[in-house]
Amino acid sequence: MSDVKDVRKVADKIIQNVEQVIIGKSLAIQLTVIGLLAQGHMLIEDVPGVGKTMLAKSLSRSIGCSFKRIQFTPDMLPSDVTGVSVFNQKTREFEFRPGPIHAQIVLTDEINRATPKTQAALLEAMEERQVTVDGTTYALEKPFLVLATQNPIEYEGTFPLPEAQLDRFLLRISLGYPEKEDEIRVLDSQQYQHPVDQIEQVVAVEELLAVQEEIKSVYVDPLIKSYIVELVRQTRRHPDIYLGASPRGSLALYRTGQARAAVQEREYVIPDDIKSLTPAALAHRVIIGPAARIKDVDARSVIGEIVDGVPVPGAQVRDR
């Protein structure tokens, strides 16, 4: 049986490996690894060219998982994602040809460029880790992780993700532009070849699955659970929010809090774990009201206001 030290070792190996490719973005990489360990999908929302695709590729190579990339376009069909049954003339039977969703790490590039019908093809895969085609259900191999990207600036030819889709993403992260020194390092690192070509596997899939299970045993005090639920409840009451976070938001904070604690070699969750993860876990789950949007109020600032307003729970001695 593994323990939190094993979780820390696995996390450090992956982070150090990915940082060879994604330079100067430690926080975003840490959040991505926390999401991976918590068995959740991630939405990477940022402008083109900052390394979203490279982050997904380097992550998959670090853990030796199968990787597929789906470039979403308006003319895509759901079968282009899930797969299709084709009639074999020789055997006189239908054969299933799996789509790109049948991989362990799936990068859905520019997810908001596909129509809602095609976007909906991901819903069952993301929630239940399975795909149903022509009445037959196919289980997806573990670990299964969807990394979706979208450009928050460009709106022409895009279809905004529905709330049900956004709610299935454990975390929303952004990379942002690099600092000047980091951008110079990027130029140096790619002088002869891209560093992603040199990335090697540093963690076995079995090792990853073991620590994913170990994280579930990290202790969460009843006061911390109450703190999590209160944060989420406040999103449903805030005057600037039209639609608050669902119970999936509470579960996201709970799971990622356990993962962050384990990564830091703790067997228990503290309030700082929850506070640091709240913007990434909740901001994409709320809809800002029309009156607030006119005032340029954004979800992250409202979530920050809620975090500042909810009292942090005091310490409680655990009975042994």
Confidence of residue 94 (pLDDT cuts 50, 70, 90): confident
Mean pLDDT computed over every residue of the chain:
86
CATH class label, 218-314:
mainly alpha
Give the model's pLDDT for residue 252: 93
On whether the CB atoms of residues 260 and 272 are closer than 8 A, the answer is no
As a whole number, mean pLDDT of residues 98-108 equals 89
DSSP 74-134: TT--THHHHEEEEEETTTTEEEEEE-TTSSSEEEEETGGGS-HHHHGGGHHHHHHSEEEET
Q: Is 297 left (phi over 0), alpha (psi -120 to 50) or beta?
A: beta
pLDDT of 196 above 80: no
Confidence of residue 240 (pLDDT cuts 50, 70, 90): confident
Give the model's pLDDT for residue 154: 64
What digits encode the pLDDT tens for the residues 123-161? 888 888 888 888 888 888 888 999 998 877 666 667 888
CATH of 1-213, one of 3.90.226.10, 1.20.120.450, 3.90.950.20, 3.40.50.300: 3.40.50.300
Instruction: Map out the domains of the chain as residue ranges.
Output: 1-213, 218-314
Please give the Cα distance from 7 to 278 (Å, whole number). Answer: 22
* Strand extents, DSSP E, the chain: 41-45, 67-71, 83-88, 93-98, 105-109, 130-133, 136-139, 145-150, 169-173, 241-243, 287-288
What digits encode the pLDDT tens for the residues 22-74? 888 888 889 999 999 999 999 988 777 777 888 888 888 888 888 899 998 88
